[in-house]
Structure 1
Amino acid sequence: MTKIRCTFVFILFNILSIYSQEEPIKIEGYAQGTTYHITYFDKQNRDMKPEIEKILKDFDLSVSTYIPNSIISRINSNEKNVIVDKYFTDCFKKAKEVWRNTKGAFDPTVYPLVNAYGFGPGKKQKIEKKKIDSILKFVGFNLITLKGNKIIKKDPRVALDFNAFAQGYSVDVVSEFLNSKDITAYIVEIGGEVYAKGKKPNGNNWTIGIEKPIDNKESSNPLKAIVKLEDLAIATSGNYRRFVIEDGVKYVHHIDPKTGYPTKNNLLSASIFSKQCISSDANATGVLVLGLEKAKIFLEQHPELQAYLIYSDDKGNYQVYETKGIRSIVTESEE
């Protein structure tokens, strides 16, 4: 599943080291249109890649808009009597929760707009006010509900896009699988979204990096900060990898559901920490749409979320706003 929104490429540090007591098992591959990297310590030395890849494949068959016969694609095309599964249900319920909490800044029904701007599998359309206004008539999470195991739409043109947070949820799904196998030290990264459990056998934390938000579609950027993780998830959303330029205007892939246009504010990236990667991922998108000042108020109201926000000041310089709960685990990079 190709991710609609930009996710920072987190750089994992020190996961290839060999320890005297126990060696890490490393799994990597492709899923959801991106890469994944998983490292865990297991005294039984089990290779869990086949099971994990089966989980990720089943996950895509539920919520990937890039697979025509997935559950979400069938719902978007108004196929009758589609029965949703747990993956879809969990995504839908979390989306409703974050939609309410952000007062509509996060809204997965922006899918038709995502396609119109050329950020989805659908055909790109000419960006003009008349077209955007016409699409906005059927954008709104209040237009769709989940009743039992079926979706009900008030307008058949309503379509869903979970790509803004599905990778975060897939991190949780894989983490739950590792927990079921009694793995107590691991790190799961899918498309840049991360959850780390426990510590390495040598007592060190898992360590990742957050990039500087420099426009760059092709490769990694220098690091802005280094983060130590333990029993914590992090997801970052930004506007510097996924964008299009039309008639000299840059359009980023985060769409404001209320205006129908890409977000325009000085918030460049939002890294959100929480106990579940699905929450980090969805709220990172919502925070980026809210913008810096509204995001500060939102974060004060939701202490279960911690944040590291990079924004530009009036002179175009990078500035950082961070919540108190992460100041002990985030340090500025010297790069």
Structure 2
Amino acid sequence: MNKSTLTLAFALLSTILFAQKDPIKIEGEAQGTTYHITYFDATNRNFKPEIIQILKDFDLSVSTYIPNSIISRINSNQKNVVVDQYFIACFKKAKEVWKNTEGAFDPTVYPLVNAWGFGPGKKETIEKKKIDSILKFVGFDLIQLKGKHIIKKDLRVQLDFNAFAQGYSVDVVSAFLNSKKITSYIVEIGGEVYAKGKKPDGSNWTVGIEKPIDNKESANDLKALVKLENLAIATSGNYRRFIIENGVKYSHHIDPKTGYPTKNNLLSASIFAKECISSDANATGLLVLGLEKAKLFLASHPELQAYLIYSDEKGNYQTYETDGIQSILKEAE
């Protein structure tokens, strides 16, 4: 290599390193929430238009809040609805987690979600007779995917992927960044996160896990900090979405076996996995299962790691963490 070539190579390397000092940040709104994406790119490409379109297409597939989305058309029993790759991925993951949690996670709980006032539908007056009538068409065994079409055993069956769709959208955006050869990034949508690689300075991407304090409007103080590298985290809790009726708090997590919101001492479940769709779906399932069943579940699923926050008999916070995250997690000061 001659001197001029060496100088050119060094100048190119310096340009790349300098360019990577300043991250590109993309923020916006989607799925009724916010998203924040940060990545380092040697050529400073801004992918915001592409990401906006990806999230729009995603909502048109699986958002129950959009009347003409694929899932809404299926729920209203429109004929000859052809599902897309987003819907298929959600359906297959839902079926997997439904089986693994023995029905604690079930996306056909949607009519109950609406009845309790946690969906786009109008809240209904809750009484046992009403719940029992809805339970007759709640069950993931009542619906199946054949090719690119949905087959229902009961036309009243409806689907709701909102319990883990945000996690999957994190994976979708991450896959896009991977396709663009971005090797250092963090994607957060509605609090669900995936982080790839390290920052150019060698430091880890760090996220916080909130204290499970009832709060619908703003962020809570942090309970723990986690370093992420090629890892996803999703947290499901009963402190963000709830209603209070006649002095009683009802969480938005509905037990598909009883038809009523879950009541147990597990306040928050943060699940770590290689894909955020798995983190998000299983976090929801474990919150329905409760603490002791969640521990048993995690013992038989080593591909998942967890940080659980629960209340003891005196109402104090206690935590349970799996062995695989002890090196990346620390309690917040």
With the length of structure 1 as denominator, give the TM-score of the two structures. Answer: 0.94
Partner residue in 2 for 1:8: none
| AA in 1 matched with 2:174 | S
Partner residue in 2 for 1:59: 58
RMSD (Å), alpha carbons: 1.0
| AA in 1 matched with 2:138 | V
Could you tell me how far apart the structure 1 residues matched to 2:254 and 2:91 are? 19
Mapped contact 2:60–2:70 kept (Cα < 8 A): yes
Could you tell me how far apart the structure 2 residues matched to 1:19 and 1:265 are? 51
Displacement after TM superposition at 1:275 (Å): 0.1
Partner residue in 2 for 1:213: 212
Mapped contact 1:185–1:200 kept (Cα < 8 A): yes
Change (3 A) 1:19 1:230: farther
Report which of the two has the higher share of helix.
2
Could you tell me how far apart the structure 1 residues matched to 2:237 and 2:293 are? 17
Where do 5+ consecutive residues of structure 2 fail to align? 1-16
Mapped contact 1:105–1:256 kept (Cα < 8 A): yes
| AA in 1 matched with 2:201 | N
Who wins on radius of gyration, i.e. which is larger?
2
Report percent identity of matched pairs.
83
- Partner-residue secondary structure (3-state), 2:215: coil
- Partner-residue secondary structure (3-state), 2:155: coil
Mapped contact 2:207–2:227 kept (Cα < 8 A): yes
Displacement after TM superposition at 1:127 (Å): 1.1
Change (3 A) 1:263 1:119: same
Mapped contact 1:105–1:290 kept (Cα < 8 A): yes
Partner residue in 1 for 2:48: 49
Displacement after TM superposition at 1:22 (Å): 2.1
- Structure 1's consecutive aligned runs of 4 or more residues displaced over 6 angstroms after TM superposition are none
Q: Kindly report which structure 2 residues correspond to 1:1-335, keeping only aligned pairs within 5 A, or say none.
A: 22-334=21-333
Displacement after TM superposition at 1:241 (Å): 1.1
Deviation string, structure 1 residues 141-173 (Cα, Å, up to 9, x no partner): 000000111000000000000000000000000
Could you tell me how far apart the structure 1 residues matched to 2:49 and 2:215 are? 33
Mapped contact 1:22–1:43 kept (Cα < 8 A): no
Mapped contact 1:205–1:229 kept (Cα < 8 A): yes
Mapped contact 1:32–1:64 kept (Cα < 8 A): yes
- Partner-residue secondary structure (3-state), 1:287: helix
Mapped contact 1:19–1:202 kept (Cα < 8 A): no
Could you tell me how far apart the structure 1 residues matched to 2:20 and 2:157 are? 54
- Partner-residue secondary structure (3-state), 1:118: coil
| AA in 1 matched with 2:118 | F
Aligned residues: 317
Could you tell me how far apart the structure 1 residues matched to 2:301 and 2:67 are? 37
Could you tell me how far apart the structure 2 residues matched to 1:287 and 1:97 are? 14
With the length of structure 2 as denominator, give the TM-score of the two structures. Answer: 0.94
Could you tell me how far apart the structure 2 residues matched to 1:181 and 1:306 are? 29
Where do 5+ consecutive residues of structure 1 fail to align? 1-17
Mapped contact 1:95–1:108 kept (Cα < 8 A): yes
| AA in 2 matched with 1:166 | A
Q: Specify which structure has the bigger relative contact order, considering alpha-carbon pairs within 8 angstroms and separated by 6 or more residues.
A: 1
